[in-house]
Chains A and B, each alone.
Chain A
Amino acid sequence: MPNSFRQGPDSRGRFGQFGGRFVAETLMPLILEVEAAYEASKTDQAFQDEWRRLLKDYVGRPSPLWSAERITAHVRKSAKPGKGAKIYFKRDELNHTGAHKINAVLGQILLAKKMGKTRIIAETGAGQHGVATATACALFDLPCTVFMGATDVERQQPNVFRMKLLGAEVRPVSAGAGTLKDAMNEALRYWVANVTDTYYCIGTVAGPHPYPMMVRDFQSVIGEEAKVQMQAAEGRLPDALVAAIGGGSNAMGLFYPFLDDPSVQMYGVEAAGRGIDTHEHAASLAKGRPGVLHGNRMYLLQDDDGQVQEAHSISAGLDYPGVGPEHSWLHEIGRVRYVSATDDDALDAFQLCSRLEGIIPALEPAHALAATMRLAVGMDADKILVMNMCGRGDKDIFTVAKLLGERL
């Protein structure tokens, strides 16, 4: 075991065997340029001040830490005496644009400006990262193109319209299953053709180095705040953290500041789709093996020939066959435990949270909530659990209504 879990990545962008820079030569010089610019920004006080100012006055940070008393009471009803941990939500769904994605987007857009880039591209699954990128581009007056799988365009119509309102161009990608993986392929292809003026704003902790590190660092504001807020609320560290995992950015942001606190257990929740033993899921860590896609080595859903398999999840944001390299590493060394929740689990948690807490969660954190409740039932009542409520569910109401047989 390493002395610290917070030393990665190494100079090659590796977390153990994971990560790296597996990109075509055309992109390589630009990737190195992004890395140099990012390293310089870390010690650039004006850059950091501007990012913090945007987080506070534009995004509305810090996001609150909410004691979810009715969910906690609900869990305790079915728990044995003395069991049922206290559940808190880290409320990143209250951010401007409705999800955690904006944290890293603002950092990256500031970086793109600093690098002199004049166009922004992004990929998006659920549309949250696309909306966040379109928002930041509106604010900074930069043209923005968002690549989105055709299937996701269909199931996330509200976010597609929001992006258009914000002045972004949305390009539907019909290759493959028309989901996040295909959107990322197409964004990378576009980038290769437009390297000189374009910055690729990646939404998750995946892609070639330095993206997994950079997005993690920007998202770590979530965990840093949670640590301070928990100290104020309970005078101690939480006992467990739970977050949903697609590529893994909201989870990495919550977990990273706590990685060296050994008393804090961590659970990443993968999307089990129609069931982890079916072929329709997005559980890359449970069912995949290490592979290389989108510029990095990570756990990947693939067949025996190394062909990438399509993922499935009710949640467009978790519908991805890979998982970021740092999660892949944390999984292998056992620092974080990765569990899963099915489409049905998420749908139940979505409705329960709406009724009990008055919070309509996005389908992504609904997965985390399903796992949170399962974990909390077995934990002692004096234990504390923090779940990242990483997005709000407005974008999902059409999908959910359809599944519940409601006509809107």
Chain B
Amino acid sequence: MSRIAARFASLKGTRGALITYLQAYDPDPATSLAILRGLPGAGADIIEVGMPFTDPMADGPSIQLAAQRALKSGATLSRTLALVRDFRAEETATPIVLMGYYNPILSYGVASFCVEAASSGVDGLIIVDVPPEEADEIEPDAKAQGLDLIRLVAPTTDDSRLPKVLAATSGFVYYVSILGITGTRSASRESMAAEIPRIRAHTDLPIVIGFGIRTPAQAAEAAGIGDGAAVGTALVDVLAGSLDEHGRAKSDTVRRVLDAVRALAEEIRR
């Protein structure tokens, strides 16, 4: 069983999963690794690591700025993989999902990226700008390496399209709960309560809700309706708020981010 499947299986019937998102190398490699290592203890069930890109078209201002900080501190795709390897040296149970855009992967070489991601301890990939129509770009290599390809389902993904999207998905389904980019709107309980059963009718995969989840209460609500809640922008904002005027980490940056994760985890476990 994959780490992702095992994690959802272990939570089944008890509570939903907390999925956290931060960008690799934001704001620097050492802080990024320290946060990563602290996440499981703070209550993250699955860790998304953002792959920094110059042109993050599905992301709002917070994550755009995170990408700029990360790139400025030297982030590359191979360094992001190295970060995961460093994390995996000490932690083997918590799944790691890389999330980002296609061009850096294409530039790296899709086949060698998938080989090295798997050997570095990556469990799944979310590549925002590779929809099912372009799945053959990466699916064969990802499958060959046992990497889950997690796809986004949006409010615009209608019933006629859902089977096509879900057929190309493994690991879990990532439900984009808002019309829009990351961190810009909040999902409403009504829309989640209506949409999740619609998707569930088409799949047995766990469904994670993301893009519009900010507060512990929203996370608990989403994790109750779906099988997990993904929180990104709110954590990136905590990180950004902890930096000095030059965008450098301060002594409490790691703690403040992990405290925010703890608050989310506690609410989900309540």
Contact = CB atoms under 8 A, between A and B. Distances in A.
Interface of A: 12, 20-30, 175-176, 181, 185, 188-189, 192-196, 290-295, 300, 302, 304-308
Secondary structure dominating the interface of B: loop
Nearest to A20: B134
Nearest to B102: A292
A181 B56 CA distance: 12
Contact of B129 (A24, A176, A306): A24
A304 B57 CA distance: 20
B42 to A, nearest CB: 29
Contacts of B181: 189, 192-193
A302 B179 contact: no
A24 B106 contact: no
Candidate in B77, B78, B154, B165 with the most chain A CB atoms within 10 angstroms: B154
A295 B130 CA distance: 9
A302 B134 contact: no
B104 interface: yes
B58 A292 contact: no
B57 A185 contact: yes
Contact of A192 (B58, B103, B104): B58
B60 to A, nearest CB: 8
Contact of B58 (A24, A176, A307): A24
A306 B108 contact: yes
Q: Sort chain B's interface into a size bin.
A: 35 or more
Contacts of A305: 76-78, 104, 107-108
Contacts of A308: 54-55, 103
A192 B132 CA distance: 18
27 contacts: A12-B133, A22-B102, A22-B130, A24-B128, A24-B131, A24-B152, A24-B154, A25-B151, A25-B157, A25-B165, A28-B161, A29-B154, A29-B156, A29-B157, A29-B158, A176-B55, A192-B179, A192-B180, A194-B179, A195-B156, A291-B107, A293-B103, A305-B78, A306-B103, A306-B104, A306-B107, A307-B53
A193 B76 contact: no
Contacts of A189: 57-60, 180-181
A306 B60 CA distance: 21
A292 B134 CA distance: 12
B22 interface: no
A174 to B, nearest CB: 10
Contacts, number: 117
A30 B156 contact: yes
Contacts of B184: 193
A304 B158 CA distance: 39
Nearest to B181: A189
B55 A25 contact: no
A89 B157 CA distance: 48
Contact of A292 (B129, B152, B153, B157): B129
Given A29-B156, A305-B77, A306-B106, A24 B133 contact: no
Nearest to B128: A24
B105 interface: yes
Contacts of A175: 64
B198 interface: no
A176 B156 contact: no
B254 interface: no
Interface string B249-270: 0000000000000000000000
